[in-house]
Amino acid sequence: MAESDTITRNAKSNLAFTLMDLPVEKRVHMAQFYAFCRIVDDIVDEPGMSPEERHTALNRWEEVISMRVEPTPGIEEEVQKLVEEVQPDIKPMLELIAGCRSDIEPRQPETREELLAYAYKVAACVGITSAHVMGASPEAKNYAIALGYALQLVNILRDVAEDCRKYGRFYLPAEDMKLFGVTCADIREQKYNYRLRQLLAYEAALAEKFFGEADEYYQALSVEDRNALIPAQAMSLIYHTILEKMRDDEYRIYERRYSVNNFRKLWFLLRARLGTVALPSFPSVSEWSFIKLQNKDKNAE
């Protein structure tokens, strides 16, 4: 088994799950690209390395994807093969490395503009390259960027507690935290209150904006591009559901890590494949509460 396949299977990520929809050749290429993204991210996050060692490892990957060094057997060789066969613009891949590099010595973004500049590197650039690898035309670029922003914002909201606890990172803009009276100390101490909920709802509205933009771009694409991007659209459905679950649960980010089970992921993959066919959606938490209330009232009668 190729090293990229092993990395992708072991990751058990939402993206890896949706790749099953792709033809074999594109699935292999996406596994190679996903493995590259995973390794670059792990270089920054995994314990046991000094900052200098992390920078050196990222420098090596810049050389690998720029085809300036002889690759070692395994994943380096596979990634160079991907670049040779698919010929993506390597600038977004280099931007991804730069974005991950900034997390070695993290700095909280002051504004939303700074947050989105970071999200462009670590998420939108992944989307741009993924769209190309999946076989979409350049017309899909705006869709990939908007969806990348949306997915990264959901990740940031979901992982506020983990990013603080494990890495000492704060991605919520300092201006926004000040607006709602939430401090970094509040997050370190896991203070859950009205101010935190309002802050997270404020950021969730920005994610919703980008989900809406991505959907508009997606609907305007050709049938061929929409078919190529089925895994990406499934990701949109999965992450939008995670956002809805957080909202319905009033953003209890200190108590749980929100996710979607494999059955629902399969359902969303089917919905993405069927495209505009109207399918019934699963009730949200609030809708289940309404159903239960109705049943209770009926029993009372």
3-state DSSP assignment of residue 221:
coil
State the Cα–Cα distance between residues 168 and 107, nearest whole angstrom: 10
User: Given this model, what pLDDT does residue 283 score?
Assistant: 46
- What is the Cα gyration radius of the chain? 20
Mean pLDDT across the stretch 37-55?
Answer: 95
Residue 280 has pLDDT above 60, yes or no: no
Q: What is the pLDDT of residues 88-99, one digit of tens each?
A: 999 999 999 999
State the Cα–Cα distance between residues 211 and 239, nearest whole angstrom: 9
Neighbours of 276 (CB within 10 A): 6
Give me 65's structure tokens.
Answer: 């994807």
Residue 2 has pLDDT above 50, yes or no: yes
Fold of 3-300: Farnesyl Diphosphate Synthase (1.10.600)
CB 226, CB 147: distance < 8 Å: no
Whole-prediction pTM: 0.88
User: Given this model, what pLDDT does residue 195 score?
Assistant: 98
Residue 42 has pLDDT above 80, yes or no: yes
3-state helix, strand, coil in the chain (%, to 5): 75, 0, 25
State the Cα–Cα distance between residues 13 and 34, nearest whole angstrom: 10
**Angle (nearest 5°) at CA 162 between 112 and 153:** 30
Give me 293's structure tokens.
Answer: 């209330």
Q: What is the pLDDT of residues 117-153, one digit of tens each?
A: 999 999 999 999 999 999 999 999 999 999 999 999 9
State the Cα–Cα distance between residues 12 and 211, nearest whole angstrom: 23
Residue 272 has pLDDT above 80, yes or no: yes
State the Cα–Cα distance between residues 190 and 253, nearest whole angstrom: 9
Residue 294 has pLDDT above 70, yes or no: no
Mean pLDDT across the stretch 290-297?
Answer: 44
Share of the chain above pLDDT 90, in %: 78
Buried b / exposed e across 240-261, counting CB within 10 Å, b at 16+? bbbbbbbbeeebebeeeebebe
Mean pLDDT (the chain) is 90
Give me 158's structure tokens.
Answer: 């979901």
Q: Using alpha carbons, select from 40, 34, 25 the residue that is nearest to residue 5.
A: 34
